[in-house]
Amino acid sequence: MVFSKIHIILVPLLNMGFSVTFVILYLFWIVLSGRFDYFHLSLGIIACAIVAHTSHDLLFQETRARYALTQVIRFVTYLPWHIYQIILSGIYVTYLALHPRMSALIDPHIIRFKTKLKKDLSLMTFGNSITLTPGTITVLIKEGYFYVHSIDKKVAEDLLTGEMEDRVSRIFMEDEGGEILSRK
């Protein structure tokens, strides 16, 4: 009986998804706590181990353990590109907002396009990446289609190039073709 309880606790510790989740959480704990004494570091280990034990499968449910580290590395390399896109879009939206002919330049669109992404985590990452980029908001993801509001035609066209989707697809190792169905 005691062995089975220990087994239930220790099996996730050997899981790569648990390990990666724990490391991410612990690094986040260290950054946010700002305290580097033994008490706070050990409290962080305990708290992060408990949270990682109960939720590691949420982050890596569709991933084999050997691919988890690859996905984390690819995601970390995606972040600088996405931050750069956020800055560029922020500058463009600021330009639109401060332009004397703002009302003539802003031309809102709802675009609908089919995505090549299949995994829930891929869809969530792509949708959040769109929403984090100024000038676009993911309105709906339904049955393989994204509905996105864009502030003008240029922003919609930039999104429809598929570069962001391809980068998210690369993170989660999905390689199928998506197509644009309609623009409204």
CATH of the domain at 118: 3.30.70
pLDDT of residue 183: 38
pLDDT of residue 5: 53
pLDDT of residue 55: 81
pTM: 0.66
Distance CA 40, CA 46 (A): 10
My answer on whether 100 and 144 are in the same domain is: yes
Give the tens place of pLDDT for each residue, 68-117.
Answer: 778 888 999 999 999 999 999 999 999 999 999 999 999 998 999 999 99
pLDDT of residue 66: 63
Report the chain's mean pLDDT, rounded to a whole number. Answer: 83
DSSP secondary structure code for residue 177 in this structure: -
pLDDT of residue 21: 84
23: domain range? Answer: 2-59
Q: Which residues 6+ apart lie within 8 Å of 184 measured at CB? A: 109, 110, 111, 112
Residue 170 lies in a domain: yes
Domain count, the chain: 2
Residue 64 lies in a domain: no
My answer on whether 131 and 43 are in the same domain is: no
